[in-house]
Structure 1
Amino acid sequence: MPLPFGFLLMPSIAGYGGNIGPNFRPFNDWSPTVALRQPLAPYACDATKSRGRLYAVAPSPTRSEFQRDRDRIIHSTAFRRLAHKTQVFVPLDGDHFRTRLTHTIEVGQIARAIARALGVDEDLAEAVALAHDLGHTPFGHAGEEALEACMKPYGGFDHNSQALRVVTLLERRYADYDGLDLTWEALEGIVKHNGPLAGPKALKPPSRYICEFDAGYPLELASFAGVEAQAAALADDIAYIGHDMDDGLRANLFTLEDIAGAVSFVAGLLEEIARKHPGLERGRVIHELVRRVITRFVEDAIRTAQARLEQHSPRSAEEVRGAGEAMVALSAAMRATERDIKRFLFANMYRHERVMGVWTRAEEAISRLFPAFFEQPSLMPAEWATLAAARDGAARAVVVADYIAGMTDRYALGEVKRLFG
């Protein structure tokens, strides 16, 4: 496997080639050349007033800066690899189950729908949605748990932090710099879409890499992200609730009767479908159920966000960031429904013996690859081996983690077979 993306270990900001000085210009110094498709709300992130990029770039005559962010993400190597990374099932379980790529596309669609309804920039919402899983390991959450365990003595591993590494460091596409050189707003969304990472509202402390990057290019870790990134975060939850339900039903991990008995919200939707379509075949019932689940969650999110925005009346994206709570959220009733569905899926899908069997094998694969590469870097491709061999301790561990995190499921399985038979 050729080196999937470049590597630079724990750099200072100068290590990015990003001297924030003569090369840096915020976009409001430039004349807008792209007409927006709809008037933006005053609290939206405005591409013509972006805080800029690490590296100066001439404006595009055909695309806004947030459209360029989206396009750079789509054309990245890490994005293409999502097609062969597991969501819940390994691909061998069937061609119709979700992968990280299909999940990501679905999140992007929902994020755009929410952003459009709220009058904010759809392209930025989509860009954050498309980038949110770039840092995920092979084998889904099982792979991440295994890599977290391996990296625990060396500072840990977090897929959000890894996504930032991918877009600021590990992608090697451009002649002048590493990474994708996304706008400040896109980077903020990738790091903080789930909420602040510092201050009284922090969900969890930031990783070492996020702290070091923030020291040179501040992302205001104690504040919330803009409405667009918040829309992407909630779209992620909505997508995986609906689509994991779909995959679980189609894989016969549980039945319609099982989930209806545990979640009254689902029981009500199934009754609605039965009244409107009596005698409908099971496959179509599942589809009708999932589309209703997603629709009801999206509509609730829009109504709740509109109410919060009206309450706070933010006049700028900065006021959204300082509002003290997320603007995009579910109502109390729908949050309770979300908890009910997640509780059911955890017990009946994520902990199902068939899925756990896959997870156990996935964890074993990562748990064997990491120490092998750490102790004997020459087992990795030459460029990675050179980087790892020149370092020791935590520095070497980060090289190995970057290499493993970039693998697809099938490449990781191939490496296990190559090394261990």
Structure 2
Amino acid sequence: MLSRADLEAREARVLAPCATLSRDSRGREYPETESATRTAFQKDRDRVLHTTAFRRLEAKTQVFLNASGDHYRTRLTHTLEVQQVARSVALSLGLNETLAETVALAHDLGHPPFGHAGERVLDGLMAGHGGFDHNTQARRIVSVLEQPKAEYPGLNLTLETLDGLNKHDRANLGQPSLEAQLVDAADALAYTAHDLDDGLRSGLLSHAHLLELPLWAELADQTGISGAILSEGQRRTLHRELLGWLIGDLTAASDAAIVENGVGSAAAVLVLPERLITYSPHLRGLLRETSVFLKGNLYRHWRVEMQVEQASRVLTTLFHAFVQRSSMLPPQFQARTGQEELARVVCDYLAGMTDRYALDMHASIAAPAQHAPHF
């Protein structure tokens, strides 16, 4: 049986010089004995997987409401796709795939119900109270809100995993590790590919319309798929080939950037002026155009905008109801109102809800008491 020391030695022997090694971890905020058979990052990964917040991702919106259909991506399936991409590319580049996997599994824990629409609504409701950002909320969940042990708040993850969740606020922190940079790239890669696929599946996007997009036109040319209407098999082929194209380009361009910069350690990565996990210039341009296209043609589609309105009404009603009558909060949230601002406690409660739970809770407030569901 391999011990933790054996696994750490294997990392040091196999991984690239610029990879983040488990044995070099800066530790945890609250010192604790490490596992005899798992590395520190394996322990982090397992703690994230067993959180309530991770299980709730199954019933949280990606683009289409969770109840819209059985085959659309949810926050959970998106997270697993990000994990797969990050782990695959990390293995190819000789990076620490366990750290990349851990950050990928935790990166969307802070998303509220109703996708980005829910995030915008909560941010507006929390104006004057610090706002709301799903990346900051993910850090809050693993550092404060999830509490499997009484000895300390949160999951007590390693500082490397926590730093990987600092996606935007990096003042005085330098560049993220290559593993964290990879998760950022894998996140954008996964949602670009699967949102195009879900857009086609839903009928909100058409193949003919997508052919006006340079990325899609080049993909269609690569696969030899032409015509205005796609078969089910052709749609699947295009999605598969798009993933392969993006992953291959990301891997090759990142490898070239790492070699060109000559980084010889994980510490050297942190002080570089630019990130090393990147695409080729050609694909970067295509992806920028694709992002603009998706925003205008899918994320702002009138059918999706109806979901935005629903999210606004549900979350706004619930927020004001709980702020005005905090006694309706569950006991564990009521207990925190003496130590934290009420608006933040309410926001934490709402952000943790699934789409379904938020809709049911809203209905229970609006409906006659005799029809209210039990919670």
TM-score above 0.5 = yes
| 2:276 paired with 1:327 | yes
* Distance of 1:367 and 1:278 partners within structure 2: 45
Q: Could you report, residue by residue, the CA deviation over 1:42-67 in whole angstroms, capped at 9, with x for unpaired residues?
A: 11100011111122232323221111
The match for 2:343 is 397
In the alignment, is the contact (CA less than 8 A) between 2:164 and 2:177 conserved in 1? Answer: yes
In the alignment, is the contact (CA less than 8 A) between 1:81 and 1:408 conserved in 2? Answer: yes
- Change in 2 beyond 3 A, CA 1:56/1:187: same
Give the letter aligned to residue 76 of structure 1. Answer: T
* Distance of 2:123 and 2:195 partners within structure 1: 23
Q: Could you report, residue by residue, the CA deviation over 1:189-245 in whole angstroms, capped at 9, with x for unpaired residues?
A: 0113x5x621xxxxxxxxxxxxxxxxxxxxxx4301100001111000000000000
| SS of structure 1 residue aligned to 2:165 | helix
* Distance of 2:56 and 2:4 partners within structure 1: 36
The match for 2:295 is 346
The match for 1:36 is 10
* Distance of 2:80 and 2:103 partners within structure 1: 11
**1:69 deviation in Å?**
1.0
| SS of structure 2 residue aligned to 1:142 | helix
| SS of structure 1 residue aligned to 2:344 | helix
* Distance of 1:60 and 1:87 partners within structure 2: 35
| SS of structure 2 residue aligned to 1:191 | coil
Counterparts of 1:19-418 in structure 2, within 5 Å, are 32-34=5-7, 36=10, 39-192=14-167, 197-198=170-171, 221-261=172-212, 263-274=213-224, 282-388=231-337, 390=338, 395-418=341-364
Give the letter aligned to residue 92 of structure 1. Answer: A
In the alignment, is the contact (CA less than 8 A) between 1:265 and 1:337 conserved in 2? Answer: yes
RMSD (Å) for aligned C-alpha atoms? 2.0
| SS of structure 2 residue aligned to 1:32 | helix
* Distance of 2:151 and 2:351 partners within structure 1: 25
- List runs of 5+ in structure 1 lacking aligned partners: 1-29, 199-220
* Distance of 2:301 and 2:229 partners within structure 1: 28
* Percentage of pairs with the same residue: 42
**1:311 deviation in Å?**
1.8
| SS of structure 1 residue aligned to 2:38 | coil
* Distance of 2:251 and 2:223 partners within structure 1: 24
**1:160 deviation in Å?**
0.8
* Distance of 1:70 and 1:166 partners within structure 2: 15
TM-score normalised to structure 1 length: 0.82
The match for 1:211 is none
* Distance of 2:133 and 2:183 partners within structure 1: 19
Give the letter aligned to residue 358 of structure 1. Answer: Q
- Change in 2 beyond 3 A, CA 1:134/1:258: same
The match for 2:373 is none
* Distance of 1:379 and 1:279 partners within structure 2: 54
Give the letter aligned to residue 329 of structure 1. Answer: T
- Change in 2 beyond 3 A, CA 1:229/1:382: same
Give the letter aligned to residue 230 of structure 1. Answer: Q
Give the letter aligned to residue 180 of structure 1. Answer: L
TM-score normalised to structure 2 length: 0.92
- List runs of 5+ in structure 2 lacking aligned partners: 368-375
Give the letter aligned to residue 107 of structure 1. Answer: V
**1:281 deviation in Å?**
6.0
**1:278 deviation in Å?**
10
**1:383 deviation in Å?**
2.8
